[in-house]
Amino acid sequence: MDRPDAIPTGTEPSRWPPGWHVEVVDETGSTNADLLAAVAAGAPDRSVRMARHQTAGRGRLDRRWEAPPGANLLVSMLFRGVVAAPHELVQRVGLAALDACERIAGVRASLKWPNDLLVDDRKLAGILAQSTTADDGRAVVVGIGLNIGWAPDGAARLGDGIVPETVLFALLEAFDSLPVDLHDRYRERLGTLG
């Protein structure tokens, strides 16, 4: 199947790429906070929580991240047993998001170190990683807010008629298809070098 938008949305495992544990909720405070709390409750590696609306979403430096209900992709991913270079998870999610944007909407974005996706110097997405200690080592939650149907003034968005779950599906597939060594690919897509 070439287009993930042909895949039905839902929380059933068969509807998402293998190995991901996806939960979609209508509203929450923060998907990152939800998954950080879920670490202690034993949530599995590669747990994903997507909200159609966040009431307390935030970005880097405690900036608020807001969007109308159902307009954008608001999602967090939990990675357990992270022992080295947790920043690579941010890079991996960023690269996967770039691939998903291009595949679903034909939008070619670039990365802005350390945690943004840009289209023509306008912010398309922000990524926030937070870590905590778990029984099996460090756990890292990586959240991304990606503008799809709505963007604040001066920011970029993918466009109308795109379902956030479709972008999430493509992002998870792209994450799994990335090479082990990201260095060259990350530098190639980084728009802030030089």
pLDDT in tens, 146-179: 999 999 999 999 999 999 999 999 999 999 999 9
Tokens standing for residue 132? 């905590």
User: How high is the pLDDT of residue 9?
Assistant: 46
Q: Where are the alpha helices (DSSP H) in 53-144?
A: 87-105
pLDDT at 61 over 50: no
What is the phi/psi pair of residue 106, to 5°?
70, 20
